[in-house]
Structures are given as C-alpha cells and as structure tokens.
Amino acid sequence: MTATDIRPNLPVDQQIEILKRGVVDLVTEDDLRRKLEEGQPLRVKLGADPTRPDLHLGHAVILRKMRQFQDLGHKVIMLIGDFTAMIGDPSGKSKTRPPLTLEETRANAQSYLDQCKLILRDEPEVLELRFNGEWLEPLGYADVIRLASRYTVARILERDDFTKRLGAGTPISLHELLYPLTQGYDSVALHSDVELGGTDQLFNNLVGRALQRDYGQEPQVVMTLPLLVGLDGTEKMSKSLDNYIGLTDAPELMFARLMKVPDPLLENYFTLLTDLPQERIQELLAGHPVAAHRELARQVVAWLHPEADLDAAEERFRAVARGGIPGNLPTVTVPREELGENGVSMARLVVLAGLEPSNGAARKLIQNRGLKLNGETYTEPQGLLRQEDFAGEGGAVLQKGKDRFARLVLGS
C-alpha cells in the first residue's frame, strides 16, 4: 500500500490480508476480524522507549504496519515511553538496558517523532501522540501495589529472558519485574484495540491483553513483526553494530547500502519494506541477484525519498563500485581557524565531515585502513593536512568504506 493508496472502506477480508503481511504473531485473528466487522476505527498502539534519537529501517518495518492501519481508516497511537524509559526494558537482553533521565527521553522523543512522520500520516484523526508519564507518574505507592496484585510472579518469570537469566544466575532487579506490568497498564490507560511490537515484545504485549481483561475492557489484539536482520546478515539491525540503514540516510547512501543486503535476506526485506506482490518477489528472487538488489533499492528509496532521482543514485553506486569518486558529494566547509601553523589533523577533519563521532574513532578508522583521501588509502593516524592540500579542484575528498564521502573545502 503506497502513501497515496488510502482505502478506509475496504472489505474486512482484504483488510486482514494487508494487515497480516509480514506478521509473525497474531493473537488472535478471530478477535481482529470481529473488531474490524464492527465498522468502527480501531485504536492501534505502538509503544516506543526513546532510548536513541535516530531510527533505521528496522524501525520502519513496524511503522509501515502502522501506516497500513492509518490508510485503512484506523487511528494509530504513537506512545512515547518517557516514564518507562527511566526503568529500562531488558527485553531480549541478558542485562537490563541502562535507564535514562526524563530530560534525555524527552529530547530523544522529539527526534523520534519527527522521523516517524516520514512514514506516518500526521492528521489528528489517524495519529495520536501520547506520553505514558501522563498516567504513570501520578500513580502512588498504593496504586502500584494494586497493579502488582493483578499478575503473579510465576507468570512474569515465564518471560524467556528472565528464565535464561535465572538459569545463568544473572541478577534480576525487582523494578525489571514491574516493567511488563507497567507497559501492560499503558494499554488499559489508552483502551487500545490492537498493539503492535517486535517479536521481542510479545510477552509484554500479552500482559497488556490480560490486564485489559482484568480491568473489564475488551482485550487488545496483539500483532508482532520480525526484527529486521542487519547488513552483516547475523544480528538484528542496530546502529551500535553498524549494520544499519538509517531512515534519514541520503538517497544515494540508502541505495548503496540496500545493494549490500545479503542474498538470503532479500525475500525478508522485500516482504517487510515493499508492497510488491509475492508473485513478483518470487520472480525477482529466481532471477539474477543484482537485479533483485537493484529493484529492492529502487523500491525502498522511492518510498522514503519520493523526490529522489533514482537513476542518479544508481549511477553513483555504479561509479563507486568501479572505484571512482562520484559527483554531487556533500560539501563540508572547514573554518580557516581550524588550520594551525602546521595544518589540521586528519582525525579532526574526519569528525568535521561527519564520518566519525570523535578523534579517537577517526584515528582507529585510519589505523584500520578504512579511510581514503582523494581516492587513495590514508594511513597516518596523526597526519595533518595543510592549506595546499585543499587547493586542488574540488577541495579534498574523504571516503569512509565504499560509500561514505565528503568533499572538504576551506572557508573564505
């Protein structure tokens, strides 16, 4: 379903066919059908703890599902867990995730919301933005005790990661046991009809379904989607693992990275990130892998960058693949005050170009032979560039890996 393909009156069978695409768990399809047959817009919840401010295509999988609900006439609720992020959810982790301050969660949340709207429609009739601090922060100690009384320790400990940690002798703090209850209570507060989540959130979302029933509400339908495997082909997409494709990556960079998706993951990426029919996907997979990658790259880039010149992005990829330096590079102006008597360090320039976050990381990049200057591998971690090094036509071009470029010019 494309961004303009809005069909609020689609028959229930067709709605279910669209909504089931790519879904791993659906608890239950009968409940979903019954809710849809009532003919009222559903309240579809996605909870997100804004622990990091930047999103990638792994996040886009579930945002696409939200957009499908919107285009079918339903309201999605983007729930920002500003309060629960201060607890730290250990889902899928052997240790609890470090908690954040309220200020950190709210700062991250703004960036998170801005990026979500690259995919979601933002009309108030189909999008509701909420923060769970609205109802969780006012709860008193007696309220928390009453909430805790509605679920047993035995049921909480059924969660797979808790079971593994107990078996391994890894400590589990009491506040972690409260996390599923806290997230489940969000569904009660919002009267959600459907809750979306990754497969790692199945337990937490089912707690919400149970609590709603206990509070006398119609229990929500739970839908989970797979965690998108990253470009390394082994682990889920993550910025910390540097195996990601950023939601806000430039079209040419996004195109190049999609061309690197491991062959065994192509079907997964096509299913979760495009609207191509399964018949067409199978045709592409049966053909040459390069053609399949090319179609995937064009489909995803066109979705997230509707105005992008796909032919230019593809030509840039081909130029880089041939070992050349593409045109139309992002230009970074280096302030002249950065030049000392002997020049400016290459590590500093790498940071200014946005290729690495710190001088230490930049020096490590150079030591690992991951940086090129004007097409040649640069190998001096303590090296300096002088004014004359910027004097050539087009300044100095830095390249990280195969597809990250920046053109450096001196300020006037």
SS3 content of the chain, % helix, strand, coil (to 5): 45, 15, 40
**Spatial distance between the Cα atoms of 74 and 107, rounded to a whole number of angstroms:** 28
Q: What are the backbone dihedrals phi and psi of residue 363, each rounded to the nearest 5 degrees, phi first? A: -65, -35
Longest dimension (CA), the chain: 75
Q: What are the backbone dihedrals phi and psi of residue 332, each rounded to the nearest 5 degrees, phi first? A: -115, 125
- Evaluate whether 41 touches 9 at the Cβ level (below 8 Å): no
Q: Which helix (H) or strand (E) element contains residue 371?
A: strand 371-373
Beta pairing, strands 75-80 & 43-48? parallel
Return the DSSP state at 127: E
- Evaluate whether 344 touches 388 at the Cβ level (below 8 Å): no
354 CB neighbour count, 10 Å cutoff: 13
Residue with token string 């059924």: 158
Picking from 363, 63, 54, the residue whose alpha carbon sits closest to that of residue 239 is 54
- Angle of helix 266-273 relative to helix 57-71, nearest 10 degrees, comes to 40
Give binding residues for ATP as ranges. Answer: 239
CA distance to 13, 72, 189, 291, per residue, from 40 (Å): 16, 11, 19, 43
Q: Which helix (H) or strand (E) element contains residue 82?
A: none
Write the burial class of residue 54 (CB in 10 Å: 0-12 exposed, 13-18 middle, 19+ buried). middle
Tokens of 281: 């996907």
Give binding residues as ranges. Answer: 239
